[in-house]
Amino acid sequence: MGSAAADTEGGGGAEAAEATAAAVATCACCGIGEECTARYVARVAAQFGGAWVCGLCAEAIKDEAARRGVGLEDAARAHAEFVGSAATARAGHAAQVAQALLQLLKRLLAAAVLPRAAPAAHDLDM
């Protein structure tokens, strides 16, 4: 098992530098980006059916696989569906809040535009 330092000493400097260069990888489940080396991304992707997943999703997938007694690919699919449904629920809630605020604003604007009734004669006596 060689390290990056051992690779550099053995003459594989360009390969070692490329393997340790960091790039941002995006999680296939939740969409979070993490700075990772190409070697790490390849290792994680190989473990999860070709898709790179962040550390949090990886742990959730492993837990799902253990609880259901299924393989990592099936657990990854189930986790991705869960994350997608949770995102849709959040988006639905945000849309409901925005719609309620829009209705409130319309009511306030309509009330401000309506002509006000002339004051009654008894209101003018002071």
Q: What is the pLDDT of residue 42?
A: 93
Res. 14: pLDDT tops 50: yes
- The domain segmentation of the chain, as residue ranges, is 16-76
Res. 21: pLDDT tops 70: yes
For 77-125, what is each residue's pLDDT tens digit?
Answer: 888 888 887 766 666 666 667 777 777 777 788 777 666 665 565 655 5
CA dist 96 and 99 (Å) reads 5
Alpha-helix residue ranges (DSSP H) falling in the chain: 4-9, 13-20, 38-47, 55-68, 72-113, 121-124
- Go through 17-31 and write b for each residue having 16 or more CB atoms within 10 A of its CB, e for each that does not: eeeeeeeebebbbbe
Q: Name residue 22's beta-bridge partners.
A: 37
Q: What is the pLDDT of residue 10?
A: 47
Angle, nearest 10°, between helix axes 72-113 and 55-68? 120
Res. 3: pLDDT tops 50: no
